[in-house]
Structures are given as structure tokens and as C-alpha cells.
Amino acid sequence: MHPLEERIGYKFRNALLLAEALTHPSLGHETQQRHFDNQRLEFLGDAVLQLVITEHLFHHFGTEPEGKLTKLRSRLVSRDTLQVRGAALELGKHLLLGRGEEASGGRERTSTLADAFEALIGAIYLDSNFEHARKFILEQCRADLESVAQEPVDINPKGDLQELLQSISPTSPVYETISESGPEHDKTFVVRAIWEGQELGQGSGRSKKQAETAAAEEALRLERWKKVRVKA
């Protein structure tokens, strides 16, 4: 059994589908030979993922209008979110890459891990059926689904901070990465929000986007821009 099959609790009947899901396009490009890759499975997996998440939101958020459901779905299927899911399964270490792609950090690249996660969904769907793919998606995305169930749909700390600060000055806040720590498949990023040379807040997360959101949340809580304006 392939180590990834043990990790996800699913045994492929057609092992070639798993191999295809884990083959990055760079392998064929580099060898200049016709070789299957995971792009078609990624295309299929994306559609299956969208349907499963859409169905889940439709049934669990029965009072929310279409616009808010769309925002929730976008959050759940974003590149950053799927990258975290792919990293949690350590897909990077199982990928078949061209040498150039590997040398440039392809195993940890957000787009690569997100695409591989979607390709894996497509492979499971073809190897079994929609219900197996649905079970896999809901299991892998459980933490994210629980998170959106607990948080208001329209929370957007970065947008709120920018709108507030631009009502004071044309200058927008910028986000700087202070540090990255942990293994490649489970990194923690620390980011700070800067405005007019002043640090407004810091935040951490498993992706830069999550860390930036946390930094914006702290900035809104501390309101340090008021002190900057008083000194000015």
C-alpha cells in the first residue's frame, strides 16, 4: 500500500490514478516526453470539491442568502486553504517533479499543493464514486467547515482595517513577514501590519494570509493609529 493511501484511509483499485494525481506537469516538460500529469484530475477534482462544499453550505446555512454562501465557499476552496490541506497530508513529499521544479521549492509551493489536493479528489472520484469523494472532502475539510460555522460570514479584518485607515490618510497598511518556522508541511508564519512607519499589530498563522488576517485583527483591537495621529 502506498504511504499516502494509509494516511487518507483509502486504497486505490487503480494505482495509476494515484500516480497520475501525484505527477506534476514539470516532469513531462523536462523530459520532453509524453507523460501523464495531474492537470486533468485537478480540473475534475475542483468541480467535485465545489459541488460538495456548495451542497454542505446549502444545507447547513439555510438562512443565508446566495451572496454570503458564495463568500463562504470562496474562503473554503481558496488556494491558501487547499494548500494547508495538501500540506497536512504531506502531499509534497509524494509528488513526482521535474528537477528544476524541485530545485525551486516546488514541493512546498502553494499552487502545487493545492492542485495536488484537487487532483487527489478527482482520482478518488474516478476510482470509486461521488460518495467516497464526498466523504474524503468533508473529512479533510472538517476543521475549516467548523471554523466558518462559528465565525460571522462577513468578517474581513484586512478590508475593515484598510477602509478605516484610508478614511484618515490615503496610505494603505502593508504586511511584512517577520518569521517562518516549523517543518515545510506545517509552517507557522508571523506577520506584522505597518502603516505610516508604525507597527499596528502582529499575527501568526499556518499561511501568510492567515497571519495577515490575525495581524489586522490585532491592529483593529489595539488602535495604535490613534497614537500616531496624536503625535503628528
CATH (domain of 119): 1.10.1520.10
User: How crowded is residue 123: how many other Cβ atoms within 10 Å of its Cβ?
Assistant: 26
- 164/122 same-domain check: no
Q: Clarify whether residues 28 and 140 are in a common domain.
A: yes
State whether 143 and 172 are in the same domain: no
Provide, rounded to the nearest whole percent, the portion of the chain with pLDDT above 70.
Answer: 92
CA angle in degrees (0–180, nearest 5) for 155-158-163: 100
Q: Is 69 in the same domain as 184?
A: no
Highest mean predicted confidence (pLDDT) among 88-97, 122-131, 212-221 = 122-131
Q: How far apart are CA 12 and CA 121, in angstroms?
A: 12
138 and 161 both lie in a single domain: no
Same domain, residue pair 132 and 188: no
How many domains does one find in the chain?
A: 2
Cα 135 from Cα 217, distance rounded (Å): 34
Q: Report pLDDT digits (tens) over 46-105.
A: 999 999 999 999 999 888 888 888 888 888 898 888 999 999 999 999 999 888 888 888
Last residue in a domain, options 107, 131, 149: 149
Phi, psi of 185 (to 5 degrees): -85, -5
Q: Do residue 180 and residue 89 come from a single domain?
A: no
92/145 same-domain check? yes
User: Domain check: are 23 and 124 in the same one?
Assistant: yes
Decide if 118 is catalytic: yes
Which one is catalytic: 42, 101, 118, 217? Answer: 118
Domain boundary among 149, 182, 204: 149
Inform me whether the pLDDT recorded for 230 exceeds 50: no
Do residues 18 and 82 both lie within one domain?
yes
Q: Which of 20, 37, 42, 46 is catalytic?
A: 46
- Residue 22's domain comprises 3-149
- CATH classification at residue 203: 3.30.160.20
Last residue of a domain, one of 127, 149, 171: 149
Helix segments in 1-129, DSSP class H: 3-8, 15-21, 25-31, 39-60, 66-76, 79-88, 99-103, 110-127
Assess whether 84 and 20 both reside in one domain: yes
Cell of 113: 499543493
139 tagged catalytic = no
Tell me: do 124 and 170 sit in the same domain: no
Q: Please tell me the least confidently modeled range out of 138-147, 189-198, 217-226.
A: 217-226
pTM, 2 dp = 0.69
Maximum average pLDDT range among 140-144, 154-158, 168-172 = 140-144
